[in-house]
Chain A
Amino acid sequence: MIAYHRPRSLQDALAIRATQDVAVIAGGTDVYPAHAGRRAWGDPTHKDVLDITAIPGLDRIEEGVGGWRIGCLVTWSALRHASLPPLFDGLKAAAREVGGTQVQNRGTIVGNLCTASPAGDGIPNLLALDAVVDVASARGRRVLPLGAFLSGYRATALAPDEIVTALLVSRQPRARGGFVKLGARRYLVISIAMAAGVVATDDADRITEARVAVGACSAVARRLPDLEDALRGAALREAAEVPEAAHLDALSPIDDVRASAAYRRDAALTLLRDLLRGLSA
């Protein structure tokens, strides 16, 4: 029998997390498919479950002086309908592309991050937003930059006693975000590749700051610092001409059922150009 905990306070949740080996569940959109996949081939077992959805206050997007706090129960749909500046346009675009509406209504942005799939649509956006992960445990609180949180293929730096409580995004004046996703069908599709970016511009529409990331082309979605450097100082309307193949050297795409590695590398370049064209529109 699978034990099921649904505490009503973060403190209680952290106490359970500190003492028991539990799988954390929020929207359930990753937990159940993984369970079904294992069960189909003869492994019906499942860890005990810690359901964090009854904890109040975690489903809010809060705007403070320095930026935004996206609670760990904020769903894709909630984010999409929230009043947020153009900085979040990429993440909002991802919110329309993850799964179908049913998944968007239940799945959380933090859950997408914690699953840490290379094809997670939220992750390149969070990298581009330079989001920080707010982590709690009975031992206390720590914040990790996203790059440190994501430790590998489907792996994170989250300790067994920790829970991600929120994502923190700092205010970024004159910045806007974008996202482009490539899949083999219109809805309900795992990305073949995707690109997300945030650019800030000056009065002359020159790029003052750029963060660009590509997903599904490496074990962990990656920012492209060389490209970001090249974009800094470029005119936004010409930004689509900046990306070159060499900017993608940090990627390590693979062959799988969805696409070949060579294609992914080339498609990523096209997506980056499309992304930047979209950001200049």
Chain B
Amino acid sequence: MIAFTLNGARVEVEAPPFAPLSDTLRERLGLTGTKVGCEAGDCGACTVLLDGAQACACLVPTAQVEGAAVTTIEAEDPLLNRLRTAFLAHGAAQCGICTPGMIMAAADLLRRDPTPTRETVQDAIGGVLCRCTGYRKIIDAILDAAPALTAMPPAGEAVGAGVARLDGWPKVAGTERFGADGAPEDALWLRVVRSPHARARFTLGDLAAARCRLGLRRILSAADIPGENAFGIMPNLKDQPALADGEVRFRGEAVLLLVGTRASVEAVRDADLPIAWEPLPALHGIAAALAPDAPQLHAHAPGNVLVRGFLETGDVAAGHAGAATTAEGSFRTPFVEHAYIEPEAGHAEGHPDRIEVVACTQAPYMDREETARVVGAPEEFVVIRPSACGGGFGGKLDVSIQPLLAVAVRLAAQRVRITYSRTESMASTTKRHPAELRARMSADADGRFTAFELDGDFNTGAYASWGPTVANRVPVHASGPYRVPHVRNRTRAVYTNDTPAGAFRGFGVPQAAIATETLVDDLAERLGLDRWEIRRRNAIGHGDVTPSGQVLHASAGLPQCLDALKPDWEVMLGRVAAHNARATRHRLGAGIACMWYGCGNTSMSNPSRMRVVLGRDGTLTLFNGAVDIGQGSTTVIAQICADALGLPLAAFRFVLGDTSLTFDAGKTSASRQTFVSGRAAYEAGLDLRRRILALANAGEDATLALAGTRLTVTDAAGASRTIELAALPGDLEGDGRYDPPTTALDANGQGTPYATYGFAAQIALVRVDTHLGTVKAEEIVAAQDVGRAVNPTLVIGQIHGGIAQGLGLALMEEFIPGRTENLHDYLIPTAGDVPPIRVHLIEDPEPEGPFGAKGVGEPALVPTAPAILSAIRHATGVRITRVPVLPHRLWEALHVR
């Protein structure tokens, strides 16, 4: 028995002394507010106060808290309450998984130093990673001694209000239920046994004997899968087995599923299992997979080419031939890990008529379809209940744990749970596609672009996942947000024996932008044009035609974005010139880049449906199937619905993302929820409003007021009528559906792939130590056309977070299978790496969008890396063709001939 003081009260707990305190708090004391992100002190999500000093609870043996005082996020404390309010007010909690750790680290600082500086705050939270916010809003929140929340807006004024996220309080209080929280106490545990080999055949011995020897409930293999042992994103391409069947194609692939008590599954050494491996030569990287003698990894993919993408318009050869100058180059980008702080986790429960799976996900309906196939049951038999999602960024679009949980429930136990370790998450789930890009771009003597062409190969890893999406999205976007008359883009997604690559914020567009924007800088340099000027001269705008032949009739605000940045750009250039005139070693550089990004699926139907119900009991409920992974869709969609309906935002209650209760809102990806689901919520709100107005026989300009079960409708002349909801025969419902209008792309990539596009430009100021090759971002200014900022606080939060991820892509992130499978070898930006960010919100309304809004989530990431590369080049003259720009790579470019 270990006795200590927990949040002011004495507790005694029976726990293994070597069990980390994080585990004891969560599993034995029920305090799941302390999160576990890495079990290695790399992420700080489990930060608690131990005798008043911040500590990673995952590094503290429970034995060591004997007699100590432990304070967790669940504590009642005025300082914690101030921080909770401040985090909400500043948008400092997005997904919320790092929030408890952040707040505890901040509390540690503020108890010692009530008036900290920005620097001391950074030092204090430097040990807690956040993947959503870019840290700046967290620092603002911690510095805010008297935070105040934006008042809830009155009816009709929700859109445009920077209200705190409506689902925020549980995130700051530590009561939010993420995938690893809230599993039934009697659930059995699952553990996946994974391949240590990138490519191998294997045979299984006597699993029944092993099960007995190891005291497990079951050992499940491919032979046990009740349905089809296959999942995948593409409707016609289910190429990934839930459990490998005799052959593995990447290191980390699932081979066996152990089911048993926690102690029994955790005690199993993989070496004690009857698996006989026959390693085979593995294909690492694109070149190996495309080699003429390379073994074919999948029967359906000759030459290991999964899919090709193509777009052609005009005559690209003529466009180059007639140009004043042509730039070309080859570029490389690596695997990038999503590094959400919440590893995949969930639990499942069997019922006679259904299996309920609770899991962190971005796509509950797709999960249901994939899970049902694997368990061999009708889709209705599977219910997906999304837990809170501790970051996704595309990495939780594919299923991971969901089919395994369901299979285990079907075959082995009524209740099961699973939590991936950090390394397991990194080794087995999807990544950003590594890209190898060759591109040429030409301009006339005035700097007007005449031609662009790109050949891009994307390493999709062992399985298809979102490879086709990347291969199709890149050709549309690769020439950048510019008027280019002659374009030809060719892409391939290539199978290898590397970790599967899938969806990651931008679907290949961030990689392509690195190539394109570098060529734009080349052309500017050759023509003696300012880098802002050449972009402004070519910026696509209203009435222009895209390379796919689409006319941008509306909401094309790149020119406005660039104009907004012009004064900042001039100041930045001046600062660089003044500094560099007297500096040799530490050079400043300013860089610029632009982007465009189609919202929603490429040339594919991606509908969303929303339902809003005004009950006879006076409750107003939005049934919202969109999963809020931290970006704020729960709040934004409600703001839209509120104003469409005409009742105040505060009146809403929510039923969120449950496949048995909400309609399919599609997946949280492709920057589509504000635009597509927002529009569906707008239609649902309007629909309910029409019903109310019809009941009251009132005109369209009437106002609504709800008090208890009394709904008062007042027309413009002031005449009002009150409806007693309880007296109605049933609830009042509004139903809204929206599917953005797109067309298929023809063989030359011509058509309308997206209903609308986001546009943005960013400028970056960097400081380069030319002796050490290190780069420090000093400032980033962003201008982004968001159509309409439904919630400016949340929109700016998305832009900050995208910039932080773009900075990581540029400077430090490189996933190497088998080598950087943890958060100390794989680096993401810390609180000290993200510079001050300023944002110009440009609102060029999108007529298709709700109140003019369109997507913002992915676009912010796209221009950051190329802007930083442009700045490094400005500082040093080094033209970067490979990211990340690790210090040794820049040093080699600077010093090695």
Contacts and interface: CB of A to CB of B under 8 A. Distances in A.
B41 to A, nearest CB: 5
A186 B832 CA distance: 5
A165 B896 CA distance: 47
Given A101-B127, A106-B59, A187 B832 contact: yes
Given A2-B18, A101-B108, A102-B59, A33 B126 contact: no
Interface string B414-452: 000000011110010000000000000000000000000
Contacts of A153: none
A266 B196 CA distance: 36
Nearest to A43: B269
Nearest to B270: A42
B64 A44 contact: no
Interface stretch (A23-31, A84-92, A141-149, A204-212): A23-31
B772 interface: yes
B58 interface: yes
Given A33-B824, A106-B55, A182 B124 contact: no
Interface string B244-285: 000000000000000000000011111100000000000000
Contacts of B16: 1-2, 4
Given A4-B61, A36-B421, A103 B127 contact: yes
Contacts of B519: none
Contact of B40 (A2, A36, A44, A182): A36
A185 B271 contact: no
A1 B266 CA distance: 11
Contact of B820 (A33, A77, A257): A257
A188 to B, nearest CB: 6
A101 B54 contact: yes
B17 A29 contact: no
Contacts of B421: 36, 39-40
B268 A102 contact: no
Given A4-B17, A36-B422, A186-B830, A42 B196 contact: yes
B271 A42 contact: yes
A267 interface: yes
Nearest to B17: A4
Contacts of A32: 20, 39-41, 58-59
A100 B128 CA distance: 8
B525 interface: no
B698 interface: no
A267 B769 CA distance: 11
A2 B814 CA distance: 36
A201 B303 CA distance: 69
Interface string B827-841: 101111100000000
B41 A41 contact: no
A102 B888 contact: no
B831 A105 contact: no
B123 interface: yes
Contact of A190 (B128, B267, B824): B824
Interface in A178-205: 182, 184-190, 192
Contact of B59 (A28, A184, A262): A28
B56 A106 contact: yes
Interface in B12-65: 16-18, 20, 38-42, 44, 47, 50, 53-56, 58-61, 63-64
B202 interface: no
B816 interface: yes
A98 B1 CA distance: 33
Nearest to B128: A100
Contacts of B47: 102
B529 interface: no
Nearest to B126: A187
A83 interface: no
A263 B61 contact: no
A29 B774 CA distance: 28
Contact of A105 (B55, B63, B820, B833): B55
Contacts of A184: 774, 811-812, 827, 886-887
Contact of A44 (B20, B268, B895): B268
A46 B825 contact: no
A268 to B, nearest CB: 10
A103 B269 CA distance: 29
A68 B44 CA distance: 33
B892 interface: yes
Counting chain B residues whose Cβ lies within 8 A of the other chain, the interface size class is: 35 or more
Contacts of A271: 772
Nearest to A53: B64
A6 interface: yes
Nearest to A261: B888
Contacts of B50: 105-106
A49 interface: yes
A253 to B, nearest CB: 11
A103 B64 CA distance: 15
A58 to B, nearest CB: 14
Interface in A20-65: 25, 27-29, 32-33, 36-37, 39-46, 49, 51, 53-54
A172 B56 CA distance: 36
A270 interface: yes
Contacts of B128: 100
A271 B774 CA distance: 12
A185 B127 contact: no
B887 A189 contact: no
B193 interface: yes
Given A40-B821, A188-B824, A101 B816 contact: no
Contacts of A263: 773, 887-888, 891-892
Contacts of B18: 2, 4, 46, 49
A252 B39 CA distance: 32
Contacts of A270: 771-772
A99 interface: yes
A227 to B, nearest CB: 18
B540 interface: no
B819 interface: yes
Given A42-B196, A257-B819, A103 B59 contact: yes
A34 B835 CA distance: 33
Contacts of B816: 257
Interface string B788-802: 000000000000000
A41 B270 contact: yes
Contacts of A54: 66
B822 interface: yes
B26 to A, nearest CB: 15
A9 interface: no
A259 B887 contact: yes
Minimum-distance CB pairs A-B, first 9 = A100-B127, A42-B270, A186-B832, A187-B126, A40-B423, A263-B888, A33-B40, A4-B17, A259-B888
6 contacts: A32-B58, A99-B41, A103-B59, A186-B126, A186-B830, A257-B816
Given A32-B39, A53-B64, 7 more contacts: A33-B40, A41-B194, A102-B47, A182-B772, A188-B129, A257-B814, A258-B888
